[in-house]
A = this chain, B = another copy of it.
């Protein structure tokens, strides 16, 4: 193992100078820098990370803990995010240390990692409206960034989130503008922030529209095909006066269930029923591949990985918090699963 000392001896320089030259400090002349860099390369010098970490007090490790299990089975999106994070963090010369909590104790891995001083910070995914992990990290004053948010109005932590209010609002407004008056919203679980915000957006759009004829129903549930199928089937089985002509869905997997229910009812999309879904572009489900292609609010999960990593690094470098709280807009992409409300078509025919 070749060390800084060996380089310094070979060059008759002090270790300090070598260290400086290698780390790009300004107080070293150009020629000695080149000389040092060259011999370092020749000797195939690799700085000992542990020594570096001990000296700088930074471990260069980021903690990522498997979020509390949602009943059974893991969230596949988590792993999508994890791989994206790993890629970006690698570019920043940070490493990801992964832990899975034992069932029942969500913050034990955090406590462990903090106690061991093994990581410089954490990335928290799948936050709840009220989240023990966030509370713990705030309490301990450990740097962390959240993918999403919790319930607090003015979060005292760094986060990256999409504008879920707008997601709910835009989807709903699109449908209202198309003449739909009975809209059913199959939302996510009721204990997460994005569901809460989307619901707010949904209700605001209805309220803004003014027409008291417009009405909506919101359902909450675990994002799954069967949930979408079950709830959509129930809604479509209502008497015609109450039956929705359009669905808003919080995920493409739910939308797949809705689509199946519509088909089973012998109805067509978008002629009889419109669907607009949020689409975070999971690897296994392509909204464009739906038949008909799905109208969506589009915001790929993997696009969050880069920003999350960058935010955390900013945090570690002591940047100001207000630059590290980022909310991005989702993009409304109108495809073939939305069309004018059938009832409106009739009224149009009548008024024309």
A residues contacting B by CB (< 8 A) are 46, 48-51, 53-54, 59, 61, 64, 66, 72-74, 76, 79-80, 82-84, 86-87, 90, 95-100, 102, 109, 112-113, 115-118, 283-284
Known: A54-B51, A117-B48, A117-B49. A86 touches B98 (CB 8 A): yes
Q: Is the CB of A87 within 8 A of B102?
A: yes
Considering the complex, give the chain B residue whose CB is closest to the CB of A118: B49
Residue of B nearest to A49 (CB): B116
A90-B73 CB under 8 A given contacts A97-B96, A97-B98: no
Contact assessment for A86 and B100 in the assembled complex, using a CB-CB cutoff below 8 Å = yes
The complex places the Cα of A76 from the Cα of B82 at a distance, in Å, of: 13
Question: Given the complex, which residues of B lie within 8 Å of A46, measured CB to CB?
Answer: 115-117
Distance between Cα atoms of A98 and B51 in the complex (Å): 22
Is A82's CB under 8 angstroms from B98's CB? yes
How far apart are A282's CB and chain B's nearest CB, in angstroms? Answer: 10
| CA distance in complex: A50, B87 (Å) | 24
For the complex, give the distance between the alpha carbons of A125 and B129 in Å. Answer: 37
Which residues of the other chain, B, contact A84 by a CB distance below 8 angstroms? 100
Determine the residue in chain B with the shortest Cβ distance to A103: B87
Q: Known: A46-B117, A283-B74. Contact between A112 and B97, CB under 8 A?
A: no
Given contacts A49-B116, A95-B118, A99-B90, contact A74 B66 (CB under 8 A): no
Tell me whether A98 and B98 are in contact (CB under 8 A). yes
Contact of A99 (CB < 8 Å), options: B54, B95, B115 = B95
- A213 → chain B closest CB, angstroms: 43
- With A59-B50, A116-B46, A117-B48 known as contacts, the answer to whether A100 contacts B74 (CB < 8 A) is no
Q: Which single member of B53, B74, B112 contacts A83 (CB below 8 Å)?
A: B74
Neighbouring B residues of A61 by C-beta, 8 Å = 97
* Residue of A50, A59, A100, A113 with most chain B CB atoms under a 10 A cut-off: A50
Q: Which residues of chain B come closer than 8 Å to A79, judged between CB atoms? A: 74, 79
Partner among B50, B72, B109 whose Cβ is within 8 Å of the Cβ of A117: B50
Q: Provide the bound-state CA to CA distance between A100 and B80, in Å.
A: 10
Q: How far is the CB of A71 from chain B (nearest CB, A)?
A: 11
In angstroms, Cα B297 to Cα A277, docked, is: 42
Q: Which chain B residues lie closer than 8 Å to A51 at the CB level? A: 54
A80 to B69, CA, bound (A): 13
CB-CB under 8 A for A73 and B117, given A82-B98, A90-B112: no
Q: How far is the CB of A92 from chain B (nearest CB, A)?
A: 13
Given the complex of chains A and B, what is the CA–CA distance between A61 and B53 in angstroms?
14
Residue of B whose beta carbon sits closest to that of A79 = B79
When A and B form their complex, which 10 residue pairs have the shortest distance between CB atoms, in order from nearest?
A83-B100, A86-B100, A50-B54, A98-B98, A50-B53, A95-B97, A96-B98, A49-B116, A54-B54, A79-B79
Bound-state Cα–Cα, A288 to B236, Å: 34
Within 8 Å CB of A49, what residues of B?
A: 59, 116-118
Q: List 15 A-B contacts (CB under 8 A).
A: A48-B54, A48-B117, A49-B118, A50-B53, A51-B54, A54-B54, A64-B98, A73-B284, A74-B80, A74-B83, A79-B79, A83-B100, A86-B100, A87-B100, A90-B99
CB distance from A66 to the nearest CB of B (A): 6
Give bound CA distance, A72 to B83, whole Å.
14
